[in-house]
Chains A and B, each alone.
Chain A
Amino acid sequence: MKHLLSTADLSRAEAIHILDVAEEMAEVNTREVRKLPALRGKTVVNLFFEDSTRTRISFEAAAKRLSADVLNFAAKGSSVSKGESLKDTVQTLGAMGIDGIVMRHGASGAPRVLADADWIDVPVVNAGDGTHEHPTQALLDAFTMRRRLHGAGSRGQGLDGVRVLIVGDVLHSRVARSNAWLLRTLGASVTFAAPPTLLPATTTPFGAAVHHDLDVALAEDPDVVMTLRIQQERMNDAFFPNPREYTRHWGLTASRFARLDERTLIMHPGPMNRGLEIAGVAADDPRSTVVEQVENGVSVRMAVLYLALTGSEPNAATKETVA
């Protein structure tokens, strides 16, 4: 694996391999000494052009547990706000000697541009690009599901036959896209439940089925219900009349939660708007994996950084995402 840009590029074997490596990383995270020397002497740049606390800290923790040095670059207050181009920013960083880039950018496809360009020849990991993809979030979601469903026997397993319902703002959600592709690759089936205004204008977006009524979708008894965050910063159009109406129709309310099967997993990529898309009682229930998702995020990102920074052939002049 040279870059990780999109879950759509991953084969089933590659995806399972990443999850299996993450299992070993998770085992390390239970030890007293939670540090491995695998990336000692390497420098990873967190290149964040968009605000993020959770993802950046998760990547930072992952890189540090692998003994890499981490440089944090936030566009705010940097030369980017003075008008520097991506190319110049990256070449400046490259001149300082770096071994990998973790990139979040507001423009969909920006990490791909960086990976394909000859500005710098280091692995690029997409940490969220515009409304396109957030592959490590999908990997940690899949990892969390697999652990809950298979426990200690997770290694080598896919998610065959698992029915996942993703609820909410699919239109703006890179988490929904990355998950839809990855989960289907792993054998799960994905259904979206969302108002038409928050869905892409196709009948089967990213190969998923669509429901326009959450109660009908929940009545199908899904194995996993993943609620998406209502991204206030992207609600710049009349997508729904007001938050209370959204909650009434599309929120995982206490009464909807009470009707779910005892084994249904509740997932949320965070940060949660409690009371808007998810009720507090659902978020705090043992069936909720919200805290595990954060914990597993570090393990999965350790696996991705490890594979990207040590796994590729040197000077492999390839535009393939997975070498």
Chain B
Amino acid sequence: MPSGEAGKEVGVGTRTVLQHPDITRALTRIAHEILEANHGASDLVLLGIPTRGAVLAERLDRILSDIEPEWTSEPADGATPGRSHRVGTLDVTMHRDDLGHGIGRAPHRTTIPASGIDGKVVVLVDDVLYSGRTVRAALDALQGIGRPRAVRLAVLVDRGHRELPIRADHVGKNLPTASDERVTLRLTETDGTDEVVIEQSETQSETQSGTQRDGGTA
């Protein structure tokens, strides 16, 4: 488990539980776990669930490139240089079970590595595991694309309160939460800062990123 996370009280009902170094450590450990569970990098494909899962998948890609020579050594059929041929994104919007319930959801991009996913070990990457419904939708979405040999799940935060029989294989941080709390992950690429915060779920906007950062603790 990563150590040194901050339990710092920032505002009323808001706690920062992971900061940049914690997130990096957790991702590095997940990368090692993925390789260990798979006995190497063969046939591995990472699919991030947009938007933040896709960012995490790209970070895992960079970490794996550093720690595992086999990760980047395979011939990249049609892959663009500088980017791993083993990482893609999987949009699950069209497969959600809450479509047509008044939430207008715009679909994101799905990009599958050129080698496809048939016979591969697909590691789904998402930010926060909560009800499990996003993962269910992702499993459904995969069916339309191919038949992986196995599907694994890596999440940065598991906050509990599952509503479906789904569990993660690789977890960055288990965060026991109350169901009226809100767990928000912010990432530098999308929100300008790296942190995981727990908020009381009043009307806090997750788009107001970085406003409550006032310096880090060790």
A positions within 8 Å CB-CB of B: 17, 20-21, 24, 27-28, 31-33, 35-39, 42, 66, 155, 306-307, 309-314
Please provide the chain B residues from 90 to 123 with a CB less than 8 Å away from any CB of chain A in the complex: 91, 93-95, 99-102, 104-110
Most buried by A among B91, B94, B102, B144: B94
Contacts of B110 in A (CB 8 A): 24, 27-28
Shortest CB distance A38–B (Å): 4
Contact residue among B95, B105, B108, B145 (Cβ-Cβ distance under 8 Å from A310) = B105
B104 touches A311 (CB 8 A): yes
Closest chain B residue to A302 by CB distance? B94
Q: Are B95 and A37 in contact (CB under 8 A)?
A: yes
Q: Looking at the complex, which one of B91, B94, B100 makes contact with A42 (CB distance below 8 Å)? A: B100
A39 cross-chain contacts in B, Cβ below 8 A: 99-100
**B100 and A24 contacting across the interface, CB-CB below 8 Å:** no
- Expressed in whole angstroms, the Cα–Cα distance for A198 and B161 within the complex equals 66
- The answer to whether the Cβ of B140 comes within 8 Å of any Cβ in the partner chain is yes
User: A42: which B residues are within 8 A, CB to CB?
Assistant: 100
In the bound complex, CA of A24 to CA of B106 (Å): 10
Asked if B143 is at the interface (CB within 8 A of a chain A CB), the reply is yes
A36 engages B94 (CB within 8 Å): yes
> Is A310's CB under 8 angstroms from B99's CB?
yes
B104 with A24: CB separation less than 8 A: no
Q: Are B100 and A36 in contact (CB under 8 A)?
A: no
Q: How distant is the Cα of A313 from the Cα of B105 in the complex, in angstroms?
A: 12
Q: Can you name 16 A-B residue pairings with CB atoms under 8 Å?
A: A24-B109, A28-B144, A31-B145, A32-B145, A32-B146, A36-B94, A36-B95, A36-B144, A37-B94, A38-B93, A38-B95, A42-B100, A310-B100, A311-B105, A312-B104, A314-B101
CB contacts (< 8 Å) of B93 on chain A: these are 38
- Chain B residues with Cβ below 8 Å from A311 are 104-105
Say whether B106 contacts A21, CB under 8 Å: yes
Decide: B107 and A24 in contact? CB cutoff 8 A.
yes
- Report the Cα distance A104→B162, complex, angstroms: 46
A42 to B101, CA, bound (A): 12
Name A99's closest neighbour in chain B (CB-CB): B100
Contacts of B109 in A (CB 8 A): 24, 27, 155
Known: A21-B107, A37-B95, A38-B94. A314 touches B102 (CB 8 A): yes
Q: How far is the CA of A311 from the CA of B95 in the complex (A)?
A: 15
Q: A33 CA to B143 CA in the complex, in Å? A: 8
**Chain B window 13-38, contacts with chain A (Cβ cutoff 8 Å), 1 for yes, 0 for no:** 00000000000000000000000000
A311 to B98, CA, bound (A): 11
Q: Within the complex, what minimum Cβ distance (angstroms) separates A29 from chain B?
A: 12
Known: A36-B95, A37-B94, A38-B94. A313 touches B102 (CB 8 A): yes
Could you tell me the distance in whole angstroms from the C-beta of B96 to the nearest C-beta in chain A? 8
B140 to chain A: closest residue by CB: A37
Are A310 and B104 touching (Cβ within 8 A)? yes
B91 to chain A, nearest CB (A): 7
Q: Mark B118-154, 1 if CB is under 8 A from A, else 0.
A: 0000000000000000000000100111100000000
- Give complex CA distance A314, B104 in Å: 11
C-beta contact mask, B182-214 vs A, less than 8 Å → 1, else 0? 000000000000000000000000000000000
| Chain A positions within 8 Å of B143 at CB level | 33
Closest Cβ–Cβ distance, residue A120 to chain B (whole Å)? 17
Contact of A33 among B94, B107, B108, B144 (CB under 8 A): B144
The answer on a CB contact under 8 Å between B144 and A38 is: no
Which residues of chain B are near A66, meaning CB under 8 Å? 94
Expressed in whole angstroms, the Cα–Cα distance for A262 and B145 within the complex equals 37
Residues of B within 8 A of A155 (CB): 109
A313 partner residues in chain B, CB cutoff 8 A: 102
The answer to whether A24 and B145 touch across the interface, beta carbons within 8 angstroms, is no
Assuming A21-B106, A33-B145, A314-B101, what are 12 further A-B pairs, CB within 8 angstroms?
A24-B107, A24-B108, A27-B109, A27-B110, A28-B94, A33-B143, A33-B144, A35-B144, A39-B100, A306-B94, A306-B107, A310-B105
A321 to chain B, nearest CB (A): 15
Complex Cα–Cα for A34 and B100 (A): 21
Q: What are the residues of chain B within 8 A of A32 when measuring CB–CB?
A: 145-146
Residues from chain A with a CB closer than 8 A to the CB of B94 are: 28, 36-38, 66, 306
Nearest B residue to A40, CB-CB: B99
Closest 10 CB pairs of A and B: A311-B104, A36-B94, A33-B144, A38-B94, A24-B107, A310-B100, A310-B99, A314-B102, A313-B102, A38-B99
| Measured CA separation A306–B91 after assembly (Å) | 15
- B209 CB, min distance to chain A CBs, angstroms: 21
